[in-house]
Chains A and B, each alone.
Chain A
Amino acid sequence: MTDLILLKHELLLTALLLIFILMKLGKDISNSSFLKMSNALLLINFIIGFFGNQHGQMFASMFQTNELMALQKNMLNGGLLLISLSSSRWLNNHIHLPEFFMLIVATLLGMFFMISSNNLLVFYLALELATIPLAALCSFDLDKRQSSEAGMKMIMSSAFASGILLMGISLVYGVTGTLAFTEMSSLIASDHLTVFALILLFAGFAFKLSVVPFHLWTADVYEGSPVAVTSYLSVISKGAMVFVFTSVLYQVFKPMQEVMYQLIYIGAVLSMTIGNLFAMRQQNIKRFLAFSSIAQVGFILTGISGFSHTGAASATFFILVYVFSNMAAFAVAGIVSSAIGRETIDDYKGFYRTNPFLSWVLAIALFSLAGIPPTAGFFGKFFLLSAGAAKGNYVLITIAALNMIISLYYYLRIVRAMFMDKNETPIGSVNLSFNERAAIIICIAGILISGIWNGPFHTIHHSVTEAFSITPF
């Protein structure tokens, strides 16, 4: 019974899910009071996540957890809370508010299991749990055609990715005769079949992470989905996948590091370059952020390619930074989109005149994404590149550095539109609600503090070192 504390994060989410269902079944609650209660619950969930974390395994070693995973889950919990706060305007007017929370908590639950999985079967199940509700969420703008299209695209491409992944899993099973990660890593040898299996597995991952060339679904889905879901997709869903990369693939496929390195190298270079080049030409701010997030994945892969504690720590730290930065950017985009209904970059011309506060928020978020000090993004990018450089592959680092220039170019495009361009009819002044203000201030504080203050990075690095010394690889 005491073991159940290992399942704490998952149990909490399940409880939340049940409460939401009960609330929906009970008497009619108005959206605003439902929102208040759900925010309070998410906050409680987030806070409890920090206490009493232990490491250990459950269910015949199919499930494992440790301090690092707990930390990662906390980050995702916090991200969910931020989404709920920042998109309160849109949520408030939605007729299916309880369903939104049920679905989003369900997919987060899937992601938690995915992070903690110690067995390919559990991993696959968790992945599906994480994906299917997401597809429903993508089409949550019920009166928009694009939104249904996004949901459709999401489910189709996910099914395709799952198919590839399953093929990889079955090949791995064929080669090693086991599905447990712990046994697998000692059985894996670098023969052709395993390489093929690894490539298939990697492709499956790459789909979810939208690594080029598996990124084609990303832009359309991001554009069509409601902003709340887009930010969930780009921050939390991606973050979970990155965590899986660092804590699972790192260790399971350790004997095949060379092949992994080649795959990650190609993925990183392509994602950065293509993502950036396409982002330059986007007009819709959500599409723009979609491509920029593809480019960011390239940077994350650069850090992961270092295959070191620092690599895992820097990737995890970058996700933390990314939660704050991207969430701030999406918060502004979402607030503007639901208040005014406009989403193109040209609409942001003259934004500073009418909304100085929101303009600074968006500018700081974009600077953080571009990696400009003193924002946390600078530290995040620097650590990633530094972890990547440890391998001595300076071609990769050079490409990454050049990509930082390109990315600055298009991030500055928005800054320029807001601060410098003249506009006869700028977006009118937007009044922020308490929730939105809270979300934005948390994000900005995170961006400004979590880099300069070395605490977060040290904590993450410490738990990475701990975690890698506990797990018996």
Chain B
Amino acid sequence: MNLTLLLIIPLLTAVGVLFCRNAQQVRWLSLAGAAVQFILVMALLFAFYAARSNGNTDAFLFSERCMWFAPLNIQFITGADGISVSMLLLTAAVVLAGVLVSWKEETMAKEFFFLLHLLAFGAYGFFISLDVFTLFFFLEIAVIPKYLLIGIWGSGRKEYSANKLALMLMGGSALVLIGMLGMYYQSGANTFDLIRLSEVHIPYATQLQFFPLLFLGFGVFTAIFPFHTWVPDGHSAAPTAGSMFLAGISMKLGGYGCLRVATYLMPDAAAYYAPYIIGLATIAIIYGAFATLMQTDLKYINAYSSVSHCGFVLLGIGMLNQTAITGAVMQMVSHGLMTALFFAVIGMIYQRTHTRMVRQMGGLLKAMPFIMTVFFIAGLTSLGLPGFSGFVAEMTVLMGAWQNPKTMYRIATILACASIVVTAVYILRATGQVAMGPLKQHDEPLNDARWYEKLAAFILIAGIVAIGVAPFWLNDLITPGAKIIMQKIVSLSR
């Protein structure tokens, strides 16, 4: 399995889109590209299982490397472990669904799909990179497409939101930049090679100095408190597919970076800073949940709840044990699918009712049963109903968290648990108001989902249910990767 295919296909699709003659061609080419990516990732998944069951215990499979800038010892290294494969699965599913949802995008369709595929290109590259420079390169590639997607096709205060998002994410990557340069020189290894860096013991003082930069830098991408403010504005102003990509893929770049770069390479510092991470994560969980209570706009509801849900990711990472880290990765996948589904459904509703305000809607279940059913599923996943992925992921994080007997960690765990109740309140309230009651008047007759919307919803729901009903396949995928990270933490921390 050649991982560079995952880079070539999105790039070819993006460039190919520019040469299309009309919107029809653009759509079908995009769909074809996304489908090929999806099939490739599925093939990768099975190849990965096959390799593992054949007794291949390398930390990273399908690894390839070539020298890029020899004078600075910058290499282009790709490879995947279970964590990256699960992230790639998420990316492929969201990209496919995103393309389907934006089927009717007519204004500047070429540019729109070009940017979508460029964003996907960045995400794929990020998840398969095993060199911090390459990782950073792809992380930044993904910033500008988001800016343009929000700024051009967005709604509401789109320019403001786009600017805020681009600058805050750029700020995050600036922190990452300083951190990685520090790691390069101070580790004594003079390399960005992730595997090599994980073998050398970076001096304790260096770790303490540069871990916060790396963790906060990546943390900005995953809405670490107090750098979460771009999330609500950015998500709500973005076009539907943009929100899906943002919440489903882009926020996961941060979580993955926190885990793969910051925690993996600097375990001592991770142990040292764990209380702070947990503190910030708990604040994000609680604050996000309560802030959602006050929202009346469906997109804002989902955006703030994303802050809360991503808090679980950071909580899991901060707990520094295998169960919690596995849970954190599962939560990334689960939240990615769930929130993409949520934004897709909100987009569908908005297209028909031309409003996103909860108060202006009602009784939609009668008018569009399919869409509302999907809406219910997304909501129930969000509040953690067993049988859907949210339950599995959050439960794993909380179980891991409870393993830690310190009082402060216990309190954090209890608070995080309690937030689920708040989640239930806002989800049930919103779904109830939107779906039940008498049907409110709308300008146009409401019709139910079209085939492409159904297909998009189906793909995401399939993922959610697959994780919710049979979580072991994902668990088996992630656990070896989490184990390797844990081994470093156990062997090195004092």
Contact = CB atoms under 8 A, between A and B. Distances in A.
Contacts of B69: 379, 383, 454, 457-458
A367 B144 contact: yes
Nearest to A401: B174
Given A373-B137, A378-B140, A386 B151 contact: no
A389 interface: yes
Quick one: which of A386, A404, A454, A461 has the most chain B CB within 10 A? A386
Interface in A377-425: 378-379, 382-383, 385-386, 389-390, 392, 394, 397-398, 401-402, 404-405, 408-409, 412, 415-416, 419-421
A373 B159 CA distance: 22
A345 to B, nearest CB: 14
Contact of A374 (B141, B147, B175): B141
Nearest to B175: A401
Interface stretch (B44-52, B181-189, B295-303, B426-434): B181-189
B178 A401 contact: yes
Nearest to A391: B185
A372 B140 contact: yes
Interface in B360-394: none
Interface of B: 68-72, 133, 137-138, 140-141, 143-144, 147-148, 151-152, 158-159, 162-163, 166-167, 170-171, 174-175, 177-178, 181-182, 184-186
A310 interface: yes
Nearest to A457: B69
A200 interface: no
Nearest to B217: A401
A405 B68 contact: no
Interface residues of A, number: 35
Residue of A390, A404, A408, A457 contacting most chain B CB atoms (<10 Å): A408
A285 interface: no
A408 B166 contact: yes
Given A382-B133, A412-B167, 8 more contacts: A310-B72, A372-B141, A373-B137, A374-B137, A374-B141, A408-B167, A415-B147, A420-B159
B163 A416 contact: yes
A349 to B, nearest CB: 12
A386 B148 CA distance: 29
Contacts of A389: 181-182, 184-185
Interface of A: 309-310, 313, 367, 372-374, 378-379, 382-383, 385-386, 389-390, 392, 394, 397-398, 401-402, 404-405, 408-409, 412, 415-416, 419-421, 454, 457-458, 461
A402 B171 CA distance: 7
B167 A409 contact: yes
B170 A385 contact: no
A99 B140 CA distance: 46
Nearest to B144: A372
B117 to A, nearest CB: 14
Contact of A405 (B70, B133, B170, B185): B170
Contacts of A457: 69, 71
Nearest to B121: A374
Contacts of A405: 167, 170-171, 174
